């Protein structure tokens, strides 16, 4: 009789689903692959499925490229002023303070001396997270000083550019002056027979590409980095023509002779080391 006394339906209790902690996974912008963040970090922020190169911050780039503990930073406390008292949808001063908090940087460039497989060099990196890595008066000054230090110390210099903003128009003519100033410093460095390797990452555009970034003895780029003066959409709207497939990507630029090498991020350190050894 106990059999017939059982309830008609069995009630199954389901425990409440635990929330998955945020920040554990990243979606690849290129192929849509969901990547475990730890695996992404171990792979130098390169998608293991399609090879898409995620943006690296300036200090991440330094850590992944130079010998551990060898980097000594220059001009760390140098920050921008607001010479034009610029006012727009957002004041320039407010934009600077906002990006300082978001990135932990004082400006869009980090420069210093370090070692790469035991060889001394000057290493400078622009960071696209800070006002798109644009070149204002402080960025131009820090880059110029790093080149001049390399010249005085007779050291090679590597400048890694990730600047989609070009010249920083919040500062008007003060920003545009940096193109000539950095280019002149490169010329003096070259005149001493010293090596300058320019490493282009996504994106490297506008006034940065039109000045020091295009003046390296060897110009190296990461895969599928956007490189040029103005973006392809603006060019298409101006000339009213469809641009070729892959236009302004690093592979396109290599094919047309603007750059010398396209190198995957995992090979950057060893490739830079060989180039420096060759020049020395």
- Output DSSP code: residue 242: P
* Domains held by the chain: number: 2
Judge if 91 and 107 occupy the same domain. Answer: yes
Helices 173-191 and 137-153, axial angle in degrees (round to 10)? 10
What pLDDT shows up at residue 261?
94
267 and 174 in a common domain: yes
Same domain, 124 and 175: yes
**227 contact partners, CB below 8 Å, separation of at least 6:** 200, 203, 204, 205, 209, 221, 248, 249, 250, 253, 258, 259
Closest C-alpha among 264, 258, 274, 175 to residue 219:
258
Question: In this predicted structure, what is the pLDDT of residue 89?
Answer: 83
- Encode pLDDT of 166-223 as tens digits: 888 888 899 899 999 999 999 999 999 999 999 999 988 888 888 999 999 999 999 9
The reply to whether 160 and 270 lie within a common domain is yes
Res 19: pLDDT: 54
184 and 249, same domain (yes or no): yes
Residues 42 and 133 in one domain: no
- pTM confidence score: 0.84
CA-CA distance, 127 to 177, in Å (whole number)? Answer: 20
Among 38, 54, 70, where does a domain finish? 54
Does residue 140 fall inside a structural domain?
yes
Any domain includes 15:
no
Supply the pLDDT for residue 88. 79
Give the pairing of strands 109-116 and 72-74: antiparallel
Asked if 49 and 159 sit in the same domain, the reply is no
125, 252: one domain = yes
Q: For the domain that residue 74 is a member of, what is the CATH number?
A: 3.90.226.10
| Positions of the chain with pLDDT lower than 70, given as ranges | 1-22
CB atoms within 10 A of CB 14: 5
Do residues 42 and 64 share a domain?
no
Same domain, 267 and 140: yes
In a 10 Å sphere around its CB, with 0-12 CB exposed, 13-18 middle and 19+ buried, how is residue 171 labelled? buried
For residue 107, what are the domain limits?
Answer: 56-279
Note the pLDDT tens digit of each residue in 61-70. Answer: 999 999 999 9
Position 251 in a domain: yes
pLDDT attached to residue 191: 94
Strand partners, 76: none
36 CB-near residues (< 8 Å, 6+ apart): 24, 25
Task: Output the pLDDT for position 196.
Answer: 97
Last residue of a domain, one of 12, 34, 54: 54
> Of the candidates 123, 197, 210, which has an alpha carbon nearest to the alpha carbon of residue 167?
210
């Amino acid at each position: 009789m106990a059999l017939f006394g059982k309830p008609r339906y069995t009630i199954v209790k389901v425990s409440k689903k635990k929330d998955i902690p945020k920040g554990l996974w990243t979606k690849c912008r290129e192929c849509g692959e969901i990547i475990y963040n730890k695996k992404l970090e171990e792979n130098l922020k390169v998608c293991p499925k399609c090879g898409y190169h995620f943006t690296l911050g300036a200090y991440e780039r330094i850590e992944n490229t130079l010998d551990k503990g060898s980097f000594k930073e220059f001009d760390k406390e140098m920050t921008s002023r607001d010479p034009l008292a610029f006012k727009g949808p957002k004041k320039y001063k407010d934009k600077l303070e906002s990006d300082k908090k978001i990135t932990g940087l004082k400006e869009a460039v980090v420069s210093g001396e370090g070692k790469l497989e035991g060889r001394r060099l000057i290493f400078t990196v622009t960071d696209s997270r800070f006002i798109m890595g644009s070149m204002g008066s402080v960025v131009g000054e820090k880059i110029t000083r790093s080149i001049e230090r390399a010249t005085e110390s007779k050291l090679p210099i590597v400048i890694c550019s990730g600047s989609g903003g070009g010249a920083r128009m919040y500062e008007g003519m003060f920003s545009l002056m940096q193109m000539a100033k950095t280019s002149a410093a490169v010329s003096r460095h070259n005149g001493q027979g010293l090596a300058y390797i320019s490493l282009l990452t996504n994106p490297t555009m506008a006034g940065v590409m039109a000045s020091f970034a295009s003046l390296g003895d060897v110009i190296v780029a990461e895969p599928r980095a956007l490189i040029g003066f103005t973006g392809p959409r603006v060019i298409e709207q101006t000339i009213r023509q469809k641009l070729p497939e892959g236009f302004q990507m690093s592979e396109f630029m290599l094919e047309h002779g603007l750059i010398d090498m396209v190198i995957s991020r995992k090979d950057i350190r060893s490739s830079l080391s060989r180039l420096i050894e060759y020049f020395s």
